[in-house]
Amino acid sequence: MSALIAPSARSRSPGGTQEPKWVRVCLIAVALAFIALFLVLPLAAVLTEALRNGVHAYREALREPDAVSAIRLTVITALIAVPLNLVFGVAAAWAIAKYEFHGKAFLTTLVDLPFSVSPVVAGLIYVLLFGAQGWFGPWLQAHDIKIIFAVPGIVLATVFVTFPFIARELIPLMQSQGNDEEQAAIVLGATGWQTFWHVTLPNIKWGLFYGVILCNARAMGEFGAVSVVSGHIRGQTNTMPLHVEILYNEYHSAAAFAVASLLALLALVTLAIKSVAEWRQGKILKALGELPPERAGVYAADALTLQPAG
Amino acid sequence: MSIEIRHIKKNFGDFKALDDVSLDIDSGELIALLGPSGCGKTTLLRIIAGLETADQGTIAFSGEDATHVHVRERRVGFVFQHYALFRHMTVFENVAFGLRVKPRGTRPDDAQIALKVHALLNLVQLDWLADRYPAQLSGGQRQRIALARALAVEPKVLLLDEPFGALDAKVRKELRRWLRRLHDELSVTTIFVTHDQEEALEVSDRVVVMNHGAVEQVGAPQQVWEAPATAFVYGFLGDVNQFKGQVSAGQMRIGSKKQQVFLPSPDYMQSDALPAVAYVRPYDFDVRRYSPDDEGIVAHLERAVVVGPIARMELRAPVEGGLAGAQLIEAQIPASLFHQEAFTEGETLVLAPRRARVFAGAAQAGFARP
């Protein structure tokens, strides 16, 4: 029975598991069209709009004081938020992946909270806590500390929103690697710090690197949460995404797209770095595969030439 | 260095991993912890290493209490089941790790480290692999690098968790012999965990057979093999047939009323109709063609496989009322005898146990097959 079916099945799909050619062409075409429509076209539009009034206007839009201040604030925010989340993320991933404790599932869920909460809500939480009418508002005012409508609020909101990126990247990686190497290091006499520095960190460096890249991209691009806490004070509490919105609303569309193109550029750089990281990993694996086969007969008893250790 | 283990208990939640284990290990001994999975052997090894802490009990190294000594200070060498080599380091750096993490005062300089690492790599005959990464090695090579890495810190005791478990049969046999010779050369106290009885019996000075978190028997391989202390040990070391019956005045009766077989059981001279289980190894049967007045277990030959010098036979002894639910019996006879007698499948034969071991009462519990 099966012998009768086999030849006809083979003639329809040559590879056994491959679809017919027209199906493959259709699927690829749909995928490419989708990518062109939703990813490539908008990116191209941003660049064309940004350069509509010429290169000079583009440069002017980026050199305008408010734009420079927005860029500076964005960079500062990222410079604070990313290192903080680097430490928090590694610590959270380490705890979740390497230890068993009560409430672990809860902590894992908590790490994901910023992903599931709308950024606007995240911003509002900080306004409710630290705003003039908020829980700590009177105390903060009494001590002349400004959080909401100031840089600290923007940093807080950004840290909250970008918290899961590094932890999420590391947890599956660390879980798959297990504890064995760390235990081996400790048995060999390494301290906790030596174990982390020489064993754990080298094993997670690419995952960590990619997590930092993603975290940074989001920290620079965050709009919702930052918009709620920033107060939109030009030249003081405007980040790049907020600056883009203001320019656009005031019909300076060329200038808006010029600043937006910087953010788009950041996305492209992120993708490029990611590709390079993956390419390097792939190269290492390929090099491993091309090594000569192992030597035979090394266990032969007559080859045993024992020397005292040390 | 000798190790004294006293009344160790360890629970994981409701699961009793170790239940009052005591054990003495002499300096320079090669000990095998043998048992089925889940018997607590790996837990015991990890407690000796300090990777787990016992709920109760003490461990002493050379008479010195080490129960609360941190794993870092215990000076043990531990070889993990899956080797746990540092994947981002070369073989050389793996072996050097234990030396490089020493406190500044006692850390050897680079030249000394290189000398020592190469000496160790020579010892495991893998010096030519120094610049490779663990992913580039075969299983057997990784195993030996893991051993070299453990030896680098000059441990007082070497602990190996299923050292040959992840290797194929041929490599395993070679490494087994090699480990034995290495131990004889270094004479460092060595404990290894295995579920393979052949491995334990071949390599070790003494075997510790464990089951359900307790030690069943400790003894030299020959002793454990010849005189199993419990039914579990008898069943775990090699294939065995079991027959249920009753023991009265030093005689155990098995089989049906019509076809009774009596087995001598001198351990139970005073017993009267005590339920018992008799254990007979497949090669401890005399197999003959059936005749009505012959004494033995009557069985039908269902299948016979002759490979090499041994004929393996599967037989079924009919119980009252026919073959349904009949017990499967394994027997082994020399292939030459099998051909000489020309037994054929479907024939009725008589099995006469030459040697049997009877366990009655509490001792019959705990039987398990490997």
At B100 the pLDDT is 92
Question: Rounded to a whole number, what is the distance in Å from the CA of B225 to chain A's nearest CA?
Answer: 27
Q: Tens digit of pLDDT for each residue in A116-136? A: 889 899 888 888 888 878 788
pLDDT at A207: 86
Q: Nearest CA of chain A to the CA of B194: how many Å? A: 19
What residue type is A173 in one-letter code? Answer: L
More confident of the two residues A6 and A15: A15
| pLDDT at res. A308 | 39
Q: pLDDT grade, residue A5 (50/70/90)? A: very low
Size of interface A-B (CB pairs under 8 A): 105
Give, in degrees to the nearest 5, the angle at Cα A70 between A66 and A74. Answer: 170
The CA dihedral of B313, B314, B320, B321, to the nearest 10 degrees, is -120
Q: Do A291 and B98 touch (CB under 8 A)?
A: no
Q: Is A15 exposed, middle or buried (0-12, 13-18, 19+ CB in 10 A)?
A: exposed
Q: What is the pLDDT of residues B202-228, one digit of tens each?
A: 999 999 999 999 999 999 999 998 888
ipTM of the complex: 0.80
Helix (H) or strand (E) holding B280: strand B274-280
- Name the residue among A156, A165, A262 with its Cα closest to residue A215: A165
According to DSSP, residue B167 is labeled: S
Compare B81 and B268 and report the one with higher pLDDT: B81
Residue pair B188/B158 in contact (Cβ under 8 Å)? The answer is yes
Q: What predicted TM-score, i.e. pTM, was given to this entire model?
A: 0.76
pLDDT tens digits for range B53-76: 999 999 999 888 988 899 888 889
Residues of chain A positioned with their CB less than 8 A from the CB of B187:
none
From chain A, pick out residues whose CB is under 8 angstroms from the CB of B72. Answer: 186-187, 189-191
Q: Tokens 């500062």 appear where?
A: A76
CB nearest to B82's CB, from A180, A199, A291: A180
pLDDT of amino acid A3: 45
DSSP B291-345: -TT--SEEEEEEEEEEETTEEEEEEEEEETTEEEEEEEEEEEEEHHHHHHHT--T
Mean model confidence pLDDT for chain B: 86
B358 pLDDT band (50/70/90 cuts)? Answer: confident
Q: What is the pLDDT of residue A267?
A: 81
Confidence of residue A54 (pLDDT cuts 50, 70, 90): confident
- Determine contact, residues B62/B117, Cβ cutoff 8 Å: no
Within chain A, residue ranges assigned H as helices are 2-12, 21-35, 41-50, 54-63, 65-98, 104-116, 119-130, 137-142, 151-177, 180-187, 192-195, 201-221, 224-230, 240-249, 253-289
Q: Is the pLDDT of residue A140 over 90?
A: no
Q: Are B32 and B217 in contact (CB under 8 A)?
A: no
Closest CB to A181 among B86, B136, B177: B86
Instruction: Please spell the DSSP secondary structure of A43-69, one letter per residue.
Output: HHHHHHHHTTTHHHHHHHHHHSHHHHH
Q: What is the mean pLDDT of residues B124-149?
A: 89
The pLDDT score that the predictor gives to residue A298 is 40
Three-state DSSP state, A148 = coil
Of A187, A203, A309, the CB nearest to B49: A187
For residue A192, the chain B residue with the least C-alpha distance is: B72
* Surface of B (161-180) touching A: CB under 8 A: 171, 174-175, 177-178
pLDDT at residue A8 is higher than 80: no
* DSSP single-letter state for residue B81: T
Closest residue to B88, CB basis, from A187, A202, A288: A202
pLDDT of B367 > 50? The answer is no
Q: Calculate mean pLDDT across residues B17-28.
A: 92
What value does the mean pLDDT of chain A take? 82
pLDDT in tens, A20-37: 889 999 999 999 999 999
Question: Which residue has better confidence, B100 or B250?
Answer: B100
What is the per-residue pLDDT for B111?
92
**Count of CB atoms within 10 A of residue A41's CB?**
11
Nearest Cα residue to B211 out of B30, B44, B28, B92:
B44
Give the C-alpha separation, A233 to A228, whole Å. 12
Confidence of residue A160 (pLDDT cuts 50, 70, 90): very high
Asked if B98's CB is within 8 angstroms of A189's CB, the reply is yes
Shortest Cα distance, chain B CAs vs residue A304, angstroms = 7
pLDDT given for residue B93 in this prediction: 94
Rounded (5°) CA angle A21-A26-A32: 125
Chain A residues touching residue B80 (CB < 8 angstroms): 180, 183-184
Q: Is the pLDDT of residue B183 over 60?
A: yes
B360 vs B134, higher pLDDT = B134
CA distance B117 to A277: 33
Note the Cα A53 to chain centre separation in Å.
34
Contact assessment for residue A212 and residue A82, using Cβ atoms and an 8 Å cutoff: yes
**B76 interfacial to chain A (CB closer than 8 Å):** yes
What's the mean pLDDT in A216-222? Answer: 89
Q: Tell me which amino acid residue A296 is.
A: A
Q: Note whether B185 contacts A288, CB cutoff 8 Å.
A: no
CB contact under 8 A, A303 and B125: yes
Contacts of B68 (CB under 8 A, 6+ apart): none
Phi, psi angles (nearest 5°) of residue B310: -120, 140
Average pLDDT over residues A76-100: 91
Q: Give the chain A residue whose CA is nearest to the CA of B144.
A: A299
Nearest-angstrom CA–CA distance, A170 and B221: 48
State which residue of chain A sits closest to B50, comparing Cα positions. A187
What letters, b where the CB count within 10 A reaches 16 and e where it falls short, cover A264-278?
bebeeebeeeeeebe
Query: B209, B216 in Cβ contact below 8 A?
Result: yes
Query: Which of B80, B123, B140 is nearest residue A307 as measured by Cβ atoms?
Result: B123
Best mutation target among B69, B72, B158, B178 (most A Cβ atoms within 10 Å) is B72
Lowest-confidence pick of A145-154, B48-57, B170-179, B252-261: B252-261
Dihedral in degrees, nearest 10, Cα atoms A243, A248, A252, A257: 80
| pLDDT for res A288 | 60
What is the four-CA torsion angle of A243, A245, A247, A248, rounded to 10 degrees?
Answer: 160
Cβ–Cβ gap B102/A189 under 8 Å = yes
Alpha-carbon separation of residue A185 from A15, B78, B95, B327 (angstroms): 48, 10, 11, 52
**Which tens digits make up the pLDDT trace of B37-54?**
888 999 999 999 999 999
Half-sphere exposure of B45 (CA within 13 A, CB side): 29
Are B301 and B313 spatial neighbours (Cβ–Cβ below 8 Å)?
Answer: yes
What pLDDT, on the 0 to 100 scale, is given for residue A137?
81
Query: Residue A6: pLDDT above 70?
Result: no
Q: What percent of chain A has pLDDT over 90?
A: 21
pLDDT band at A289 (very low <50, low <70, confident <90, very high): low
B88–A309 C-beta distance less than 8 A: no
A188·B71 Cβ contact <8 A: no
